[in-house]
Amino acid sequence: MRLLAALLLLTSPALAQSRPRARDLGVPFDGSPGPLNAITDVAGVTVGHSTIIAGQGKLVVGQGPVRTGVTAILPRGATNGDPVFGGWFTLNGNGEMTGTTWLEESGFLAGPVMITNTHSVGIVRDAVIEWLVRKGFQFDWSLPIVAETWDGSLNDINGFHVTKEHAFAALDSARGGPVAEGNVGGGTGMICNQFKGGIGTASRRLPADRGGYTVGVLVQCNYGSRGRLSIAGVPIGQEIPDFLPCYDSIPETARAGSRRCADGEKGSIIIVIATDAPVLPHQLKRIAKRAALGVGRLGGTGGNPSGDIFVAFSTANPGAAKPDANVTVTMLPNERISPLFEATIQATEEAIVNAMVAAETMTGINGMRVYALPHDRLRAALRKYNRLVEPRR
């Protein structure tokens, strides 16, 4: 069950706009988003997905069911190989993001940022190098940034269904404009706060007197406990304690007439932060740290089994990596960086909620069913606590 047998979905504006977003449901958020409310509000940033959905029923390793994929974020698009300043941070390290040793050392992020499942990091990493070679980028060596979260509750993760062609497809489909969210790309098989999770994005634009800069965030959310889930200050996990992930009643997974529900917290979150503000690597590391506060707003704790790894980059200072001459760069003073911290926290929070709002109920291996966050009950809970933003008439 490889490429020809899989259902391969590429991102498109139609797909990106086919599901409501959190603001459409009346969820209140702080800050002012960019026009797309997406990481692609940062000029030059492009995003692509390849999504693999195939098979159903009992797990047969190597055959399926398959619920996985790859997501690509290109800081300057596919045709510009100019590295960007970058920094990274890990809240809890039970996860992987390749290339971070050199990112920490050099301060530069060269090439795309990729996200997939835990057991596909290697093939995606190698595929990125091959893709860069095919595109004619000149380099003696490459250490790509590839991150992961675990989708083994829904996906035949040990079947190794992600191929280099899927990574190529994510890279080749990367575009600006609206970004597909929910059950797409690397987020296809992910679970967030025991609801269906996946890919989410959001942005913030600072007012002119604070620089007018844009911060965009993209998350692959696969973390969290239902009981701690809070949205806009409302204890959603307590208001919606049901709809937990459960095995359907099939002979291989449950006794006749019964269902078994999963409990406990498993999983991780990868967060990618882009900005056009002229900040340097040490400042980007500081920005990356603030994403943890956005996770915390929703009840995340960075628990022991979680891989919470964040990377930030700036599209400002083009040409800073030129190897053959001194370069002059622009740096935002530390005294003016706090608004970027706040924007990162706000956009991270909204991106995670957007991922859950966009995701749809999915059934995977052995009949494991993970339910979407029910929009009507989310609105009812927000209304109960006087937090619902009613649409203007």
Q: Is 224 left (phi over 0), alpha (psi -120 to 50) or beta?
A: left
Which residues are paired to 113 by β-bridges? 73, 145
Catalytic residue, chosen from 120, 203, 306, 314, is: 306
Identify which of 159, 82, 184, 165 has the alpha carbon closest to the alpha carbon of residue 127. 165
Segments in 247-330 forming alpha helices (H): 281-297
Q: How far apart are CA 360 and CA 302, in angstroms?
A: 25
Known catalytic membership, residue 308 = yes
Catalytic residue, chosen from 156, 276, 308, 314, is: 308
Known catalytic membership, residue 306 = yes
DSSP 74-116: ETT-TT----EEEEEEEEEESS-BTTHHHHHHH-EE-S-EEEE
Looking up tokens 């003696």 gives 140
Return the percent helix, strand and coil in the chain, to nearest 5. 30, 25, 45
Type of residue found at 199: I
Catalytic residue, chosen from 120, 268, 276, 314, is: 268
Known catalytic membership, residue 203 = no
Question: Which residues are part of the catalytic machinery?
Answer: 268, 306, 308
